[in-house]
């Protein structure tokens, strides 16, 4: 982990993310790319081109000053920080920045959303999780260290999830944490018996790693939803990080199928690591 992107909106939650990124950067001698996406939607299309340009320059200079002041933090001392300001809030643009700098991960803060706002609007974090090809580490509260000791790795043991599973293991391997591999069994047509779940896990691990050494770390739980199963199990084992894979669904497929990763990111108080399948 040598290059970290941190989206900044000047909120306390983006500062939580920046602080977490600084802790990881110091451990890995990494560079932080602090990204602020300037929203210029308030510029009126009815104004002349000159007026629009003058306003854009004004807001850009204002953002640069605010950004510079925001990055003056004691915890950033000794950390290389590269500030980046983009003129529009286009979440897919984060991928382009990630590819350009060859980033390893995005770290961002989130306060979560709920109710009608969650359904109709969603959060900036949801949009980043949906569009980003990079792993996204979501920080919900201020953390004082990144010595994650117990990580819950939620998976459905599907073959398409193998690359994301391997990427996650590679990403968190340096943490030397206990990895609790979790499968949530639901009371519906997808319900599986104990022997069926064990067979599914065995086949998955053989295809992913060529052995079943990690079966000792596999856990099966039953719950009414996958989200509840993951959150309840994480509380039981005292996890300090949850890792989930996401398909990054967009449009109608997202509305009808939803995203477990986004739901957990909204409702968990623990840090969440999402990796796209």
Same-domain pairing of 127 and 2: yes
Helices and strands: H and E segment counts in the chain? 10, 10
Please tell me whether residues 59 and 84 are part of one structural domain. yes
pLDDT digits (tens, 9 = 90+) for 146-157: 889 999 999 999
Are 60 and 170 contained in the same domain? no
Residues 275 and 194 in one domain: yes
Last residue of a domain, one of 142, 174, 204: 142
Which of 78, 112, 142 terminates a domain? The answer is 142
Give the number of residues written for the chain: 277
Phi, psi of 265 (to 5 degrees): -60, -35
**Model-level pTM?**
0.85
CATH at residue 6: 3.40.50.620
Which tens digits make up the pLDDT trace of 89-143? Answer: 666 778 889 889 999 999 998 875 544 343 333 467 777 877 788 999 999 899 9
Query: Who's near 140: CB < 8 A, 6+ residues apart?
Result: 13, 16, 109, 110, 111, 112, 268, 269, 270, 271, 272
**Half-sphere exposure at residue 242, Cβ-oriented, CA atoms within 13 angstroms:** 35
Domain count, the chain: 2
| Domain end (from 106, 123, 142) | 142
Domain encompassing residue 37: 1-142
């Amino acid at each position: 982990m040598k290059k970290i992107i941190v989206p900044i909106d000047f909120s306390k939650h983006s500062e939580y993310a920046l602080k977490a990124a600084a802790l990881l950067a110091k451990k890995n001698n990494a560079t932080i790319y602090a990204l602020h996406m300037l929203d210029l939607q308030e510029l009126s299309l009815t104004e002349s081109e000159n007026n629009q340009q003058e306003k854009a320059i004004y807001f850009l200079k204002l953002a640069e000053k605010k950004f510079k002041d925001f990055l003056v933090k004691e915890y950033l001392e000794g950390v290389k920080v590269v500030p980046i300001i983009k003129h529009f809030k286009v979440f897919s643009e984060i991928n382009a920045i990630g590819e350009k700098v060859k980033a390893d991960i995005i770290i961002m803060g989130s306060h979560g959303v709920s109710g009608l706002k969650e359904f109709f609007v969603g959060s900036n974090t949801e949009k980043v999780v949906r569009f980003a090809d990079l792993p996204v580490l979501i920080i919900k509260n201020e953390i004082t260290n990144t010595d994650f000791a117990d990580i819950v790795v939620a998976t459905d043991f599907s073959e398409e999830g193998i690359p994301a599973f391997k990427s996650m293991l590679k990403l968190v391997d340096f943490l030397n944490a206990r990895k609790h591999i979790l499968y949530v069994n639901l009371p519906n047509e997808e319900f599986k018996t104990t022997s069926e779940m064990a067979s599914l896990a065995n086949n998955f691990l053989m295809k992913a790693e060529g052995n079943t050494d990690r079966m000792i770390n596999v856990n099966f739980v039953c719950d009414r939803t996958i989200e509840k199963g993951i959150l309840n199990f994480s509380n039981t084992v005292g996890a300090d990080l949850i890792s989930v894979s996401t398909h990054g669904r967009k449009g109608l497929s997202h509305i009808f199928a939803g995203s477990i990763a986004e739901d957990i990111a909204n409702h968990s108080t623990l840090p969440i690591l999402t990796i796209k399948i």
